[in-house]
Amino acid sequence: MKNIYLLLLALCLISCRGKNESIEVNRKIYADIINKEIGGTSDLVLLTAKNSSNAKYTFLTTLDADCNTCFQIMNDWEKFEFPRELKKVRKQFIVQGQLTDIFRRFLSELKSNDTEIYLDTAQSFLVKNKLASYYQKTLLLDSNRKVIYVGNPLDKGLVETDLMELVNE
């Protein structure tokens, strides 16, 4: 009986945690990059149509052109359903490396027209923005291109309620 009581107490404590506790934990873990402004993409090669929406938020992910699983990540983004309030979120991928045959094939099969994919052959984007330790991470940027969260909603680390709270701050 005592074990059941302890289990119920633990479940209650977990479910009663602060509404934005996971956001605050994220901000503490990534304090070195939260509120950092990320430079633009003007010196990169745009491989897809530019998303002309007036999106207030951008999910930015850096990937490697030689990484086959990275293409699967981009495909997974195609299927991801954003909450209704975020339908116009911009998705940007900065791909480091050269345009390979496999990458060309992936681009030709890409169905989405709201995903911006940039090629960074000089691999300067991460260096210029001092993001080397954030390679293959997803950053959520606000309208001023400042980092407000580090995490990929596809990894289930950024739950919909957290995402909605972030954009309504």
- Strands (E) located in the chain: 45-46, 58-64, 90-96, 115-120, 138-141, 147-150
- Average pLDDT of the chain is 78
Question: Looking at the predicted structure, is the pLDDT value of residue 56 above 60?
Answer: yes
Q: Rounded to two decimals, what is the model's pTM?
A: 0.80
Whether residue 95 contacts residue 64, with contact meaning beta carbons closer than 8 Å, is answered with yes
Which pLDDT value is given to residue 8?
40
Q: What is the mean pLDDT of residues 13-24?
A: 58
Q: At 9, is the pLDDT very low, low, confident or very high (cuts 50, 70, 90)?
A: very low
Q: Which residues contact 135 (CB under 8 A, 6 or more apart)?
A: 62, 96, 126
Which pLDDT value is given to residue 35?
95
Q: Which residues contact 121 (CB under 8 A, 6 or more apart)?
A: 45, 97, 98, 99
Tell me the per-residue pLDDT of 60-111, one tens digit each, with 9 for 90 and over: 999 888 887 887 888 887 777 776 666 667 889 999 999 888 888 888 887 7
Q: At 159, is the pLDDT very low, low, confident or very high (cuts 50, 70, 90)?
A: low
Q: Which residues contact 92 (CB under 8 A, 6 or more apart)?
A: 41, 58, 59, 60, 61, 115, 116, 117, 118
Q: Would you list the domain boundaries of the chain?
A: 20-167
The verdict on domain 20-167 having CATH code 3.40.30.10 is yes
Q: What is the mean pLDDT of residues 6-29?
A: 58
